[in-house]
């Protein structure tokens, strides 16, 4: 064995660089975080050859004094923390003091800076070969400029692992996007090979923030997003959540920030996935840009070299807060929140090119700490056209039903539900296998709190009035904006499902004892978890008893799950509890059974509906949570505006 000795400075820095500097994007991330911590309000990033040849970052922060330039390039040198207590409540993006030293060990780095008290700026140059900084005067305004040239010039093995210029720049651009989304008060400019890619001004108002998000995530995202702003128990969550219909094939439009720091956390991902469980199509991923603020002492950011992961002190509280907030926000979205603004008879005013605030009038703003509010007016005026060209005039709507027709619609819709009760009872008996719960199936389907139509004929409902039924599958209706197409089975399925869930929750989880208790072998850690959370399992309808260090006895299970694999379900719940502090496995399993029953109990294709039945179904959709998607995540309705219809027929050209 060789004797133990200290590593020399150059080798230690290159080892640290292996953790911090993975590619040019890593360099940009570290340097931009330092600039933001320095109070910069405008940042300019210039790169060449994907960042391998050159990375130049300018900021207007408070700068670095002359006598601290060389020290800034040393390992473990930082102004952000000074004692152990500071580490327990880190409020800055950087704090380790390793970034500049690691970067300078694998590149040719030039650091130029100036502060208010100095007459001129100063510059420090260092190369990976000798690590000795050369300090000299250099003209520079207040702020800092860092140039990183020839990345990995002295470590050719690392350079071989870099991808193509296009790939490396895409990673670098993603870093800039994340930081631009995290700090709306900072302006960002990104140039690649002398070509401007992004020019983002500081954003203060909601409209300016919308424009920045639209520029970085696409206008379609901001048009199909719900704005949330929630604060409770020392936690604050705000940002944009994409509608379930605006899902993606990959998780490439998911940004989550904790106290301004972008993170990837399993607990957060689980809470978001759980909130979208009932409305997202299989294999699709939700979209969101969310910000969580909490006391810095309640989160540990010193758990990963690149600071991409954090650890919450009270993970269960954070998980429950995220899930309940997002679940409520998605449940409160109604059809009127997804419609574009009503097109009035007045001709449209000319607008400036680019992304305008008017494009985002369809967003819903949900403030769950108070009463939910919407950016929409909440109704759609049925005004008569006041002139203008034929292409600006709105079409005449179908005549609103009279009070007598409203009564007949409710009666017809009640009969529609009653006729489905037998199907629900049969499917529930098949799914549960217990005659004692068949009576409740009628209770689920017979409760039809249909909302009456507005008595004021000047108000047009968001989904309009039914015109006809197409091929026994789709309902055609007409509203102020154009034509609505509704999949009647999918819509009725969601309505029935939500009624059944509400009724089941009001009745509580009914449990039954097992004739022969089931013994389950688990690890000692799992048995301890089950014993500590015995009350939690009781609320879920599971009665457990510990029979030994590694043995659990299941004595009682929920009625709805008597045909389920109890052992597998128990292991999954224990796994969730140990990893996330909570579990929704049992609720999800029960909801799957209710969804199956709702599917069998809903109107089928080729079922002829009267106009009264169709209109009543539309009214119920407007009052039902998550009515925009069926139980399987498929959309229940879509709309073609008059502008879209005119384009199809080339009208106005």
Q: Name the strand (E) or helix (H) holding 101.
A: helix 99-104
Confidence of residue 231 (pLDDT cuts 50, 70, 90): very high
- pLDDT, residue 280, reads 86
Domain shared by 491 and 421, yes or no:
yes
- pLDDT, residue 572, reads 87
Determine the Cα–Cα distance for residues 175 and 43; give it in Å rounded to an integer.
Answer: 13
- pLDDT, residue 509, reads 75
Determine the Cα–Cα distance for residues 640 and 484; give it in Å rounded to an integer.
Answer: 7
- pLDDT, residue 417, reads 55
Confidence of residue 424 (pLDDT cuts 50, 70, 90): low
- pLDDT, residue 506, reads 79
* Weakest-pLDDT range from 69-78, 189-198, 490-499, 637-646: 69-78
- pLDDT, residue 407, reads 55
Domain shared by 407 and 285, yes or no:
no
- pLDDT, residue 43, reads 97
| Residues recorded for the chain | 653
Average of per-residue pLDDT across 386-398: 38
Determine the Cα–Cα distance for residues 586 and 542; give it in Å rounded to an integer.
Answer: 9
Confidence of residue 383 (pLDDT cuts 50, 70, 90): very low
Domain shared by 196 and 212, yes or no:
no
Domain shared by 159 and 234, yes or no:
no
Contact 136, 123 (CB under 8 A): yes
Confidence of residue 599 (pLDDT cuts 50, 70, 90): confident
Pairing verdict, β 288-293 and 254-258: parallel
Greater confidence (590 vs 446) lies with: 590
Domain shared by 168 and 237, yes or no:
no
Domain CATH code at residue 560: 3.30.1540.20
Residue 151, SS3 per DSSP: coil
Give 374-389 as a 3 state SS string.
Answer: CCCCCCCECCCCCCCC
Angle between the N-to-C axes of helices 438-446 and 403-432, in degrees from 0 to 180, rounded to the nearest 10: 160
The b-or-e profile of 108-134 (16+ CB within 10 A means b, else e) is bbbbbbbbeeeeebbbbbbbbeebebe
Domain shared by 438 and 579, yes or no:
yes
Q: Let me know if residue 359 belongs to a domain.
A: no
| Strands (DSSP E) found in 490-542 | 511-521
Q: Looking at the 3D structure of the chain, how many domains does it have? A: 3
Q: Which residue range forms the structural domain that includes residue 286? A: 206-338
- pLDDT, residue 305, reads 64
| Residue 371 pLDDT > 70 | no
Domain CATH code at residue 95: 3.30.565.10
Q: Let me know if residue 155 belongs to a domain.
A: yes
Residue 504, SS3 per DSSP: helix
Average of per-residue pLDDT across 495-513: 83
Confidence of residue 283 (pLDDT cuts 50, 70, 90): confident
Q: How far is CA 282 from the centre of its chain?
A: 17
Domain shared by 138 and 277, yes or no:
no
Per residue in 642-651, pLDDT (tens digit) is 999 999 999 8
Domain shared by 124 and 273, yes or no:
no
- pLDDT, residue 245, reads 83
Per residue in 117-169, pLDDT (tens digit) is 888 899 999 987 556 788 999 999 999 999 999 999 888 878 888 999 999 99
Per residue in 477-487, pLDDT (tens digit) is 999 999 999 99
Q: What is the DSSP string of 315-367?
A: HHHHHHHHHHHHHHHHHT--GGGGSPPP--SSPPPP--SS--GGGGTT-EEE-
- pLDDT, residue 201, reads 95
Domain shared by 568 and 638, yes or no:
yes
| Chosen domain end from 338, 371, 396 | 338
Q: Let me know if residue 420 belongs to a domain.
A: yes
Average of per-residue pLDDT across 604-614: 87
- pLDDT, residue 372, reads 34
Confidence of residue 362 (pLDDT cuts 50, 70, 90): very low
- pLDDT, residue 418, reads 56
Q: Let me know if residue 166 belongs to a domain.
A: yes
Per residue in 28-61, pLDDT (tens digit) is 999 999 999 999 999 999 999 999 999 999 999 9
Domain shared by 182 and 226, yes or no:
no
Greater confidence (101 vs 123) lies with: 123
Q: How far is CA 522 from the centre of its chain?
A: 35
- Helix, strand, coil tally for the chain in percent (to 5): 40, 20, 40
Q: Let me know if residue 350 belongs to a domain.
A: no
pLDDT-above-70 percentage for the chain: 80
Confidence of residue 254 (pLDDT cuts 50, 70, 90): very high
| Residue 432 pLDDT > 60 | no
Confidence of residue 99 (pLDDT cuts 50, 70, 90): confident
| Residue 348 pLDDT > 60 | no
Average of per-residue pLDDT across 180-205: 96
Greater confidence (342 vs 547) lies with: 547
């Amino acid at each position: 064995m060789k004797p133990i000795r200290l590593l020399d400075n150059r080798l230690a820095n290159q080892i640290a660089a292996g953790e911090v500097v993975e590619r040019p994007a890593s360099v940009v991330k570290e340097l931009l975080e330092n600039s933001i911590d320095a109070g910069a309000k405008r940042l300019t990033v210039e790169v060449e050859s994907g960042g391998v040849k050159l990375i130049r970052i300018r900021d207007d922060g408070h700068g670095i004094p002359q006598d601290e330039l060389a020290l800034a390039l040393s390992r473990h040198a930082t102004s952000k923390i000074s004692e152990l207590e500071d580490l327990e409540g880190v409020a800055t993006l950087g704090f380790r003091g390793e970034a500049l030293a690691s970067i300078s060990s694998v590149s040719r780095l030039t650091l130029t800076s100036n502060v208010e008290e100095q007459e001129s700026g100063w510059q420090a140059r260092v190369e990976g070969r000798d690590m000795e900084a050369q300090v000299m005067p250099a003209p520079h305004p207040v702020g800092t400029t860092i140039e990183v040239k020839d990345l990995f010039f002295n470590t050719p093995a690392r350079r071989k692992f870099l991808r193509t210029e296009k790939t490396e720049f895409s990673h670098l651009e993603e870093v800039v996007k994340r930081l631009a989304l995290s700090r709306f008060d900072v302006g960002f400019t990104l140039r690649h090979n002398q070509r401007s890619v992004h020019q983002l001004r500081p954003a203060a108002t909601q409209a300016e923030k919308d424009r920045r998000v639209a520029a970085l995530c696409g206008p379609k995202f901001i048009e199909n997003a719900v704005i949330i702003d929630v604060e409770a128990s020392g936690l604050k969550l705000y940002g944009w959540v994409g509608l379930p219909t605006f899902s993606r094939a990959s998780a490439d439009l998911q940004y989550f920030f904790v106290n301004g720091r972008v993170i990837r956390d399993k607990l957060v991902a689980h809470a978001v996935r759980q909130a979208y469980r009932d409305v997202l199509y299989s294999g699709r991923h939700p979209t969101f840009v969310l910000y969580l603020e909490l006391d810095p002492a309640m989160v540990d950011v010193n758990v990963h070299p690149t600071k991409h992961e954090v650890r919450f002190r009270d993970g269960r509280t954070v998980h429950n807060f995220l899930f309940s907030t997002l679940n409520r926000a998605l449940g409160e979205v109604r059809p009127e929140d997804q419609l574009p603004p009503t097109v009035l008879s007045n001709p449209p005013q000319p607008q400036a090119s680019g992304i305008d605030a008017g494009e985002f009038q369809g967003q819903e703003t949900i403030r769950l700490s108070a009463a939910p509010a919407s950016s929409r007016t909440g109704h759609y005026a049925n005004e008569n056209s006041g002139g203008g060209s034929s292409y600006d005039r709105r079409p005449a709507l179908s005549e609103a039903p009279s009070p007598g027709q409203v009564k007949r619609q409710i009666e017809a819709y009640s009969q529609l539900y009653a006729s489905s009760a037998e199907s629900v009872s049969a499917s529930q008996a098949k799914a549960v296998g217990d005659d004692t719960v068949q009576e409740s199936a009628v209770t689920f389907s017979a409760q039809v709190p249909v909302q009456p139509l507005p008595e004021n004929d000047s108000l047009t409902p968001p989904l309009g009035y039914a015109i006809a039924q197409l091929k026994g599958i789709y309902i055609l209706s007409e509203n102020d904006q154009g034509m609505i197409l509704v999949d009647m089975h999918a819509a009725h399925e969601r309505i029935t499902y939500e009624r059944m869930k509400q009724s089941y929750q009001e009745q509580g989880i009914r449990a039954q004892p097992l004739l022969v208790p089931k013994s389950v072998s688990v690890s000692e850690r799992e048995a301890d978890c089950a014993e500590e959370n015995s009350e939690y399992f009781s609320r879920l309808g599971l009665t457990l008893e510990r029979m030994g260090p590694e043995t659990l006895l299941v004595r009682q299970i929920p009625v709805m799950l008597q045909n389920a694999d109890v052992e597998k379900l128990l292991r999954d719940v224990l796994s969730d509890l140990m990893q996330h502090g909570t579990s929704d496995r049992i609720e999800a399993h029960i909801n799957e059974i209710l969804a199956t029953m709702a599917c069998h109990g809903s109107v089928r294709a080729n079922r002829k509906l009267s106009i009264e039945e169709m209109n009543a179904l539309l009214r119920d959709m407007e009052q039902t949570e998550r009515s925009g998607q069926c139980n399987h995540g498929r959309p229940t309705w879509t709309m073609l505006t008059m502008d879209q219809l005119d384009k199809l027929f080339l009208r106005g050209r």
